[in-house]
Structure 1
Amino acid sequence: MTDRYWSVDQVAELLGTTTRFPRRLIEERRIRYVKVGRYVRIPESALHEYIASRTVEPVRLRRTGLRRVA
Structure 2
Amino acid sequence: MTPVSPLKLWTVDDVSAYLGVPVQTLYTWRKRRTGPPAARVGRHLRYDPDAVRAWFVQQTAA
Shorter-chain-normalised TM-score: which range? 0.7 to 0.9
3-state SS in 2 of match to 1:5: coil
The structure richer in helix per residue is: 2
Can you give the 5+ residue segments of structure 1 that lack an aligned partner in the other structure? 58-70
Identity fraction in percent: 23
Q: What CA deviation, in whole Å up to 9, does each residue of 1:16-65 have, x standing for no partner?
A: 121112112222222211110000101101111111101148xxxxxxxx
3-state SS in 2 of match to 1:12: helix
Normalised to the residue count of structure 2, the TM-score between the two structures is 0.73
3-state SS in 1 of match to 2:26: helix
Query: Who is 1:16 aligned against?
Result: 20
Normalised to the residue count of structure 1, the TM-score between the two structures is 0.66
Q: Tell me how many residue pairs correspond in the alignment.
A: 57
Can you give the 5+ residue segments of structure 2 that lack an aligned partner in the other structure? none
Query: Who is 2:43 aligned against?
Result: 38
The structure richer in strand per residue is: 1
Q: Does 1:49 align with 2:54?
A: yes
CA 1:36–1:20 in structure 2 vs 1: closer, same or farther (change >3 Å)?
A: same
Q: Aligned equivalents of 1:24 and 1:47: distance in 2?
A: 16
